[in-house]
Amino acid sequence: MGNNLAKCDNVTYVTLNAMQDPNTPIRLQRRALLDQMGIGVAGLCALHCVATVVLVSGLGLGGHFLLSPSIHRFGLALALLIAAVAIGWGALKHRRAVPFVVAMMGLTFMGGALAVPHGNEEFILTIIGVSLVSLGHLFNMRATLSQ
């Protein structure tokens, strides 16, 4: 199996070829796909936060939907489910603790954001949380594809 990781200073990018390389076993591709889904959900969460600040604070639109507690609980539940499967499965296979620890710290920040009122604190906790969850998924995908 060829090296599917391109290194650039402190950041490692997984090339698109890693997912389509015929030498990469399908089980590793599936595990990496779960991590990509986790990163996507974290990105949607960050987009939701920014959209809330812009639309509700700036324009006064969409507060009934964007500030609804149910959308926040659903987002956290979805992030927890994907992280539990992707990162839990990865931790069992590659035995590296860093992806698990980083992602769990992020989920903790996201959970903490549910406990504070809407505002700056919630925004900051959520952005820190989704950043850490994404980083955990990146570490997990890197460990998975380097097996």
pLDDT in tens, 105-138: 999 999 999 899 888 898 899 999 999 999 999 9
Q: Report DSSP state, residue 24.
A: S
Query: Is the predicted pLDDT of residue 34 greater than 50, yes or no?
Result: yes
pTM, 2 dp = 0.73
d(CA 87, CA 139): 9
For residue 45, how far is the Cα from the chain centroid?
9
Task: Return d(Cα 93, Cα 87) in angstroms, integer.
Answer: 10
Q: In the prediction, which pLDDT does 129 show? A: 94
Q: Per residue in 85-99, pLDDT tens?
A: 999 988 898 999 999
Distance CA 37, CA 31 (A): 10
Tokens of 131: 């950043």
**Chain position carrying tokens 């906790």:** 125
pLDDT in tens, 35-62: 999 999 998 888 888 877 777 766 666 6
Nearest to 138, CA basis, from 23, 10, 12, 6: 12
Domain boundaries, the chain: 26-145
What integer pLDDT is reported at residue 71 of this predicted model? Answer: 82
Separation of first and last alpha carbons in the chain: 9
Which ranges in the chain belong to alpha helices (H)? 16-20, 26-52, 63-66, 69-94, 97-115, 120-145
**What pLDDT shows up at residue 12?**
47
- Tens digits of residue pLDDT in 69-80: 788 888 889 999
Phi, psi of 87 (to 5 degrees): -80, -35
Residue 10 has pLDDT above 50, yes or no: no
Note the pLDDT of residue 15. Answer: 45
